[in-house]
Structure 1
Amino acid sequence: MALPDARRQRTLAVGLIGPGRVGSALLQQLRAAQPRLAREAGLQLKLCGVVARQRMWLDHDDPELNSRSHGAQTWRPSDLDAFAAHVQRAGERHALLVDCSASDAVASHYPRWLAAGVHVVTPNKLAASGPLERWRAIRQACAGGARYRYEATVCAGLPVVQTLRDLLDTGDELCAVHGMFSGTLAWLCNRHDGQQPFSALVREAHALGYTEPDPRDDLSGLDVARKLVILAREASWPLSLEQVQVESLVPPELADVPVEEFMQRLDLLDAPMAAKLAEAHTRGGVLRHVAQLDRHGRASVRLQVLPATHAFAHSRLTDNVVQFSTRRYRDNPLQVQGPGAGPEVTAAGVFADLLRIAETLEPHA
C-alpha cells in the first residue's frame, strides 16, 4: 500500500482521563492501531498523559509513555486544567481529551476546554444528561470549532447517536424512541431464568465489567434515564433527568447505603425479582427492561412483561435495541441492535469518535 501523501500528515495529541476498565481497553486499542493509522491514514496519535483519580502523569515524566502501560511512571497531584493545557501545548494545532471517568466534576470542565479549542470525546453520560444550562454551554463552546463527541454514552459502540444525527441532518423528524438501552439489564433479563438467584447474576455482571461502578446506577434505571435525556437533547427536545419516570429495581433500604454494603446485601433483590419472573411465566411472556420517549416529553424507564413474539424478546445477552420512530420511519421504526455493554465495545465506540474527529483535522503545514 502506498504511503500517505506528506501533505496529509496529521498529529493529534491525546490526554486520557480515567484509566479504568474502559480507559485501559482504549489505551490498548490505540497502541495496537497506531502503526496502521500512521502508515495508512497519515495520523500520528501522541499520548501526552493520563489522569487517574487524584494523580496524573505527563509524557515528559516518562519518555516511554506511548509504548507501555502505566505502572512505574512519575505521578504528581492531578490538576485537570493544567493537564488540558499540557495536552494542548503538545498538540500545537490539534489536541483532544478523552474522558473515561464517570465524574461530574470532570464533565464540568468541558465548556472551558472546548472554548479553548480542545476536542472532547467521552462515554461519560453526566455532561450530556446533566443540567440543561451546562449542556447548552457545551454546545455553545463548540461554535469555535472544537468538537464534542459522545456516541458511547448511549449504547457503547453502537451507532445510535450518529444514526439519529444522520436522520435529523437529512430533514427527518423524530417522533418517538423505544428500546432496551441497558446492556447490563439486558444481560440480567436474559440470564434470569430462575436457575440461580438474581443477586448472583448481579455479582457476575459486576465482575465482568458490564455494570456501572455502582450497580445501582443500572438497577435503579438512572443510567437508562440519562440515555433517554441524551437522545432527547440530540433532537433538540429540552428534557431533563427529573422529568423521566423511572421504576427502580433497588429496594428502598439499599438506595443510600455505601456500595460495599449494597453488594453484601444484594440478596434483598432475589424475592422481588423471582416474583416478577413468575408473573412473566404465568403470562407466557418475558421480562425486559424498556425505555420510552415521545416528542411531548413523556419518558419512562421500567421492567415490563413483553409477549414472547415481541422483537425485544429475542435479544441476545448484552444486546441493546433502539427503535427510532420518525416521519420517514413511522410505520416501521428504524432499529439499531447489538452488544451494548463491556469495556472493549465501549472503548471501541470512543475510539471511533476519536477517529471521526481526526478525519476532519487539517494536515500539517
Structure 2
Amino acid sequence: MSNAIYLGVVGVGGVGTAFLSQLARLPNAPKLVLLARSSQTLLAPTPAYSPAIPAADWATASAAPSLTKTGAMPAEEIATYLASAPGRAILVDNTSDLNLAKAYPTFLKKGISVVTPNKKGFSDDLSLWKDIFASAAEGKALDLVATGDQVTRIEGVFSGTLSFLFNTFAPASGSSNAQWSAVVAQAKELGYTEPDPRDDLNGMDVARKLTILARLAGLDVARPDSFPIESLIPNELAGLPSSADGIAQFMARLPEFDAQMAGIKEAAEKQGKVVRYVGSIDVPAKKVKVGLEYFDKDSAIAGLKGSDNIISFYTQRYGANPLIVQGAGAGGEVTAHGVTADLAKAIERLK
C-alpha cells in the first residue's frame, strides 16, 4: 500500500464549499478522488484513482471528460470505492445527514477514517455511538476523539446563533430596547440562524453538542432528548409547518410574544444580572440540562460578544479554575476551519 492518502468529500453546501476552498490551500493536501452532492457524484477513475479532482475548481471540473460522473451514491458504495484506493482513505462528511452518519461504522471497519462536523452520528442513539468507536478500533481508523484528566463539570454557551441573540437582546454592557422578534429577524437575515429559526430556538443543536460532550466525559446519555431542554419557541407557534409558508407565519407572529422574553430579561436585570442560553453537564450527579440561566454581568459568559461561544471545563486537574475555550461560534468558514484542522491531524497521524 502506498503512502498516498485519498480523500472523499460528501456535501458541498455552505460548510462544504468553504472546506474545499481551504483544502485547495492546504500544504500536501490528500488526493481528492470523490466529491458527492445530493444528486451527483464526481469520481477519479479507477483503477489508478487519477486524475484527482481539483478542489479549487471542483465546480467546473465536473465537465471534465477525464473524471467519472454518476448519480447519488449510497454510503456503502462510497465506502467500497474509497477502501479500494491504493493507500489510506479519509471520508469528510460536511452534511447533517443522519443516514450517512449511521454508516460511519461501515467506513471505519474498512479502515477509512472519518472527519466531520456532523453531530448526529455522535449524538443519536447510544448504540450508534458505541458502534462507531468499536468499528474505529476494529478498522484501525481515526475518529479524532481523545480524552484525558477527569471531567467534573462542563458549562457554557454552545450556540453561536443563541449567543448572538442574547448578546444583542440583553447585553451586559447596558440595557437594550431591542425586541426579541426583531433580534431573531436580524440573526436570520445575517445567516446566523437555520432557514427555519425554530431549529435553533428549540435547543436541539445545543442538546446534541451536550450529548457528545457528556458521553466523552463518561456518561451514557441515551439521546439528546433524554434530558431537560428549554425551548424558546412559543407553544402556540411550535406546531406551524416547516414549509416556507410555515416559517413566514412563525416570523410574522413572533412579535406577539415579545413581552414574554422582555419579562425574562427584566427579571434578570432586577437582580443585576443578564440572561443567557447555556448547557451544563454535572458528571458526578449524572445530570445534563439546556436552557436559560442568569449570570452576573462581570462573568465570562455574560461578557461574550457577537456570536462567540464559550465553554468552561472543570476537571480534577484544573480544580475550581476551569479551562476556558472561547471563540467564534457561527458561520461556514469557521466550521470548515475546524474540519480542515481535523483533516490535517488525521493526515499527520496516518503518515
TM-score where L is the length of structure 1: 0.82
Gaps of 5+ in 2: 64-68, 171-175
Matched, 1:31 2:24: yes
Matched, 1:258 2:242: yes
Q: Distance in 1 between matches of 2:252 and 2:190?
A: 19
On the 8 A contact 1:56/1:78 being kept in 2, the answer is yes
Counterpart of 1:178 (choices 155, 165, 189) is 155
The number of residues matched between the two structures is: 327
Identical aligned pairs, as a percentage?
37
Answer 1 or 2: which has greater helix percent: 1
Q: Using the TM superposition, name which of 252-261 and 233-242 deviates more.
A: 252-261
Task: Give the drift of 1:357.
Answer: 0.7
Counterpart of 1:82 (choices 77, 80, 94) is 77
Counterpart of 1:274 (choices 262, 284, 287) is 262
Task: Give the drift of 1:87.
Answer: 2.8
Counterpart of 1:221 (choices 192, 203, 218) is 203
Counterpart of 2:216 (choices 206, 209, 234) is 234
Residues 291 and 48 from structure 1, CA distance in 2 versus in 1: closer, same or farther, beyond 3 angstroms? same
On the 8 A contact 1:254/1:262 being kept in 2, the answer is no
Residues 116 and 210 from structure 1, CA distance in 2 versus in 1: closer, same or farther, beyond 3 angstroms? same
Q: Distance in 2 between matches of 1:208 and 1:94?
A: 40
Q: Give, as a single letter, the amino acid of the residue that structure 2 aligns with 1:280.
A: A
Residues 211 and 63 from structure 1, CA distance in 2 versus in 1: closer, same or farther, beyond 3 angstroms? farther
Q: SS state of the match for residue 59, structure 2?
A: coil
Residues 361 and 21 from structure 1, CA distance in 2 versus in 1: closer, same or farther, beyond 3 angstroms? same
TM-score where L is the length of structure 2: 0.86
> Which residue in 1 is equivalent to 2:271?
283
Gaps of 5+ in 1: 1-8, 39-43, 151-161
Residues 267 and 307 from structure 1, CA distance in 2 versus in 1: closer, same or farther, beyond 3 angstroms? farther
Task: Give the drift of 1:201.
Answer: 3.0
Residues 117 and 207 from structure 1, CA distance in 2 versus in 1: closer, same or farther, beyond 3 angstroms? farther
Counterpart of 2:39 (choices 43, 54, 77) is 54
> Which residue in 1 is equivalent to 2:119?
125
> Which residue in 2 is equivalent to 1:322?
311
Runs of 4+ in 1 over 4 A off after TM superposition: 61-64, 193-196
Q: Distance in 1 between matches of 2:292 and 2:34?
A: 42
> Which residue in 1 is equivalent to 2:66?
none
Residues 50 and 114 from structure 1, CA distance in 2 versus in 1: closer, same or farther, beyond 3 angstroms? same
> Which residue in 1 is equivalent to 2:59?
70
Matched, 1:101 2:95: yes
Task: Give the drift of 1:122.
Answer: 0.6
Q: Using the TM superposition, name which of 252-261 and 287-296 deviates more.
A: 252-261
On the 8 A contact 2:278/2:293 being kept in 1, the answer is yes
> Which residue in 1 is equivalent to 2:227?
244
Task: Give the drift of 1:311.
Answer: 2.1
On the 8 A contact 2:196/2:242 being kept in 1, the answer is no
The one-character-per-residue Cα deviations of 1:198-231 (angstroms, maximum 9, x if unpaired) are: 3343344334443345432321111111111101
Q: Distance in 1 between matches of 2:177 and 2:37?
A: 40
Q: Distance in 1 between matches of 2:334 and 2:13?
A: 14
Q: SS state of the match for residue 111, structure 2?
A: coil
